[in-house]
């Protein structure tokens, strides 16, 4: 079993930056995807960014150019640096991971991930 723990998050104004982190523990595999998803009230959970232990990554179109995902394999950690935040970025951000193979078209689909953190709130005010 893998446990994921997010940290960071908080409240900022539009245009500001924020970073969140996620650390994995437990029985972690050598090769895995770790990603970030978000959910706001009344909306479905959506993929934001994901990164493979080998370095491949993907971003949602809505965050390209503003968000950067990175990793530290030794620490089994993934980070999300968010710049130029917008009110529509508000939501609970969840860390997710899987050691399963994911089809290229499904990298940002929640159903592709086995393990989930509890989430951390990000609020962007206008």
Mean pLDDT of all residues belonging to the chain: 95
Is residue 27 predicted with pLDDT exceeding 90?
Answer: no
Q: Please give the share of the chain, as a percent, with pLDDT higher than 70.
A: 100
State the pLDDT at residue 113: 97
The first and second tokens of residue 108, run together, are 């940002």
Q: Are 96 and 74 in contact (CB under 8 A)?
A: no
Count of Cβ atoms closer than 10 Å to residue 115 Cβ: 18
Residue 28: per-residue pLDDT:
79
- Give the pLDDT confidence of 40-53 residue by residue, as tens digits: 999 999 999 999 99
- Tokens standing for residue 22: 């996620």
Average pLDDT score over residue span 114-121: 97
Give the mean model confidence (pLDDT) for residues 5-28: 95
């Amino acid at each position: 079993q893998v446990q994921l723990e997010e940290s960071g998050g908080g409240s900022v104004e539009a245009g500001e930056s924020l970073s969140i982190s996620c650390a994995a523990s437990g029985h972690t595999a050598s090769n895995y995807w770790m990603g970030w998803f978000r959910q706001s009230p009344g909306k479905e959970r959506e993929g934001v960014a994901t990164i493979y232990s080998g370095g491949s990554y993907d971003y949602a179109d809505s965050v390209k150019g503003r968000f950067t995902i990175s990793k530290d394999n030794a620490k089994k950690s993934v980070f999300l640096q968010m710049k130029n935040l917008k009110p529509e970025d508000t939501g609970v951000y969840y860390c997710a991971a899987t050691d399963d193979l994911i089809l290229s078209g499904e990298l940002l689909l929640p159903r592709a991930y086995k393990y989930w953190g509890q989430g951390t709130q990000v609020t962007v005010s206008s």
